[in-house]
Structure 1
Amino acid sequence: MRLFRRSRKSEDVPDPRTAWPEQPVPEDAAAAAVTFWEAWFALLPEVSAALGDREPHRVEHDLCTIVEALHPRLHFSLDRGHRAIYSLVLTGQEDPELRPYTDAWKAAAPPEDAIWEYHDSVPPVPDPSEVTVNLGETRIALADVRVTAKVDDSAGRVDVTVFHPLIEELRPETRTTMTFLPLDATLGERVAAERLGKVELVTEAQDGQLTLLELREVVGRLGSPTPGNVGTPD
Structure 2
Amino acid sequence: MRLFGRKDEEEEAGRPGDGVAAFWAWWQEARPRLDSLVAAGTADGVEELVAPAVAAIDPGLVWEVAPGRNAAHALVVTAAGDAELRSLAHRWARAAPPADLLWEFHPSRQANPQALELTLDVGGFEFALDKLVFGLRVPRNQPRVDVTAHHPIFGELDEETRLEATLLALDWLLGEDDVARWVGEITPATFQPIDAVAAVHLPAVVADLASGYEGEEWLLLEGQTGEGAPLVATARFPLRPVDHPLLDQHIEITLPYAHRDADGLPAGDSLKALSDFEERLAARLLQLRDDALLAAHLSAAGHRVVHVYADPASDAAIHAKELIASWQEGEPRVDVGHDPAWAAVSPFLS
Structure 1 residue 153, shift from structure 2 partner:
6.0
Q: What letter matches 1:102 in structure 2?
A: A
Query: In structure 1, which of residues 65, 69, 82 is the aligned counterpart of residue 69 of structure 2?
Result: 82
Number of residue pairs matched? Answer: 211
Q: Does 1:2 align with 2:2?
A: yes
- After TM superposition, the structure 1 = structure 2 runs for residues 124-143 of structure 1, keeping only pairs within 5 Å, are 124-143=111-130
Q: Does 1:177 align with 2:164?
A: yes
Residue in 1 aligned with 2:180? 193
Bigger mean CA deviation after superposition, 144-153 or 157-166: 144-153
Q: What letter matches 2:2 in structure 1?
A: R
Greater percentage in strand: 2
Bigger mean CA deviation after superposition, 150-159 or 42-51: 150-159
Gaps of 5+ in 1: 7-18, 228-234
Residue in 2 aligned with 1:15? none
Structure 2: distance between partners of 1:216 and 1:50: 35
Structure 1 residue 22, shift from structure 2 partner:
5.7
Query: In structure 2, which of residues 86, 103, 110 is the aligned counterpart of residue 116 of structure 1?
Result: 103
Query: In structure 2, which of residues 61, 72, 82 is the aligned counterpart of residue 95 of structure 1?
Result: 82
2:210 counterpart SS class:
coil
1:198 counterpart SS class:
strand
1:45 counterpart SS class:
helix
Quote the RMSD (CA, aligned, Å): 2.3
TM-score, normalising length: structure 1 = 0.81
- After TM superposition, the structure 1 = structure 2 runs for residues 1-234 of structure 1, keeping only pairs within 5 Å, are 1-5=1-5, 23-26=14-17, 29=18, 32-152=19-139, 154-223=141-210, 226=243
TM-score, normalising length: structure 2 = 0.56
Asked if structure 2 preserves the Cα contact closer than 8 Å seen for 1:36 and 1:67, the reply is yes
Structure 2: distance between partners of 1:119 and 1:2: 15
2:82 counterpart SS class:
coil
Structure 1 residue 177, shift from structure 2 partner:
2.1
Structure 2: distance between partners of 1:4 and 1:80: 15
- Quick one: structure 1 residues 2 and 24, their matched pair in 2 at CA, closer, same or farther if it must change by over 3 Å? same
Structure 2: distance between partners of 1:36 and 1:97: 20
Structure 1 residue 20, shift from structure 2 partner:
7.8
Greater length-normalized contact order (CA 8 Å, ≥ 6 residues apart):
1
Structure 2: distance between partners of 1:222 and 1:65: 40
Structure 1 residue 137, shift from structure 2 partner:
1.8
